[in-house]
Amino acid sequence: MARKHLLSDLVGQKLSAGNSEGNVDPDAVAPQYSPRGAIGAVSRSIELLKSQSLTELDPELIDASLVADRLDESPEEFEEFARQIKENGQQVPILVRPHPDVEGRYQIAYGRRRLRAAKAAGILVKAAVRSLSDDDLVLAQGQENSARKDLSFIERALYAAELESSGFQRPLIMAALAIDKTGLSRLIAAAKQLPADVIRAVGPAPKAGRDRWGEFSVRLEQKGALEKVRELLSSDSVTGLSSDDRFARLFDAIAPKKQKSPKAQVWKAEDGTKAARYKQDAKTLTLTIDKEAAPDFSDYLLSALPEIYASFKRTKQ
C-alpha cells in the first residue's frame, strides 16, 4: 500500500526482522565517507537516530500545520475513528517537525485525525520527528494526501489553492499532490470559483466530484443564490445532515428554474384550413405543417423560403 512506502521514506531505513522499536539496521545505508566495521555501524546508527526518530509525544505539544490538509468531518465519523484508536491503538505514526519558532513544541506535517483522536483519548501520540523545511513539510503532507483514498476532490482543491495563496510555488504543489500542471490548474480554479466559507460549511462531500462542484459554482452565480446557500447553511435542518446530503440539499435548492414550454398555437388560413401549428420562445420558433390538412404546402413553403427571407432582409435596409 502507498502508506507503507511513505512510512519507509519517513524512517529512512527498514527495520530487520529481529529489531525492536528504535533499533535501526546498521547495514541499511553505508555512506561512502563512513568507516566500516563495528565502529562504522555504531556511527551510522547514531547519525540516523539523530536525524529521524520514532517517539511518543504529548498531543498538547503539537501545533497545527502550515496549511490544513482536509476539511472537518462529521462528529459521528470522528467519534468512530477515535474509538478505534482508543481500542486498537495507533498503528501508523504521525509526522511532526520541531516547531521552527517555539522551543519544545512541534508542528504536524500529517496525521491530524490521529492527533485529534489521541488527544480525545487522553493518550500519547506515536510520532516520527524530522527536521523539515517548509517545502519539505508541504511535500510530505501532500504525498500522504495522495495516498489517501478518502480525500475528496474539494479537499484537494482547497488545499492546493491555500498552498498557493500561502506563497508556495506551483512546481512544489504539483510534486506534493502528484499531479501535472493542468490538473493543478483545475484544482485551484475550482476552489477559487467557490467561497471558502461555503466549502468549509459543506465539508468534504466525497460523493460530489469535480463536475458537480463545477455546476454548483455556476448555480451560485445566479442572483440571490449565494445568500440562499448561506442562509440554509445556518439552519439546523441542513447543518444536521451529512456532508454529502448537505451538498445535495444546497445543489437542489439553487437549481435553475425550468422554463415552462410554450403551448403550440394553431395557424388558420383565410379559408379556415388549420394548415400549421407553431410555438416560440425567446430563442426559437417551431413551425409544424399539417400535411393532411394542407397537402403539398410544406414543399411549397420550403421552395418559397429563400424569397421570403430575401424579402425580410429588404425590409431591414
pLDDT at 24 over 60: no
Q: How far apart are CA 235 and CA 175, in angstroms?
A: 40
Q: Give kind and range of the element (H or E) at residue 5.
A: helix 2-11
Long-range contacts of 212-218 (CB under 8 A, 24+ apart): 212/247, 212/251, 213/153, 213/154, 213/157, 214/190, 215/251, 216/247, 216/250, 216/251, 216/254, 217/190, 217/193
More confident residue, 40 or 308: 308
Q: Give kind and range of the element (H or E) at residue 249.
A: helix 243-253
pTM of the model: 0.53
pLDDT digits (tens, 9 = 90+) for 197-228: 999 999 989 899 899 999 999 999 999 999 99
For residue 290, the Cα-to-chain-centroid distance in whole angstroms is 55
- From the list 177, 222, 200, the residue with the least C-alpha distance to 70 is 200
Q: How far apart are CA 191 and CA 173, in angstroms?
A: 15
**pLDDT averaged over every residue in the chain:** 80
pLDDT at 159 over 90: no
Determine the pLDDT at residue 199: 93
DSSP state of 149: S
Residue 45 corresponds to which cell in the numbers above? 546508527
Q: How far apart are CA 239 and CA 250, in angstroms?
A: 11
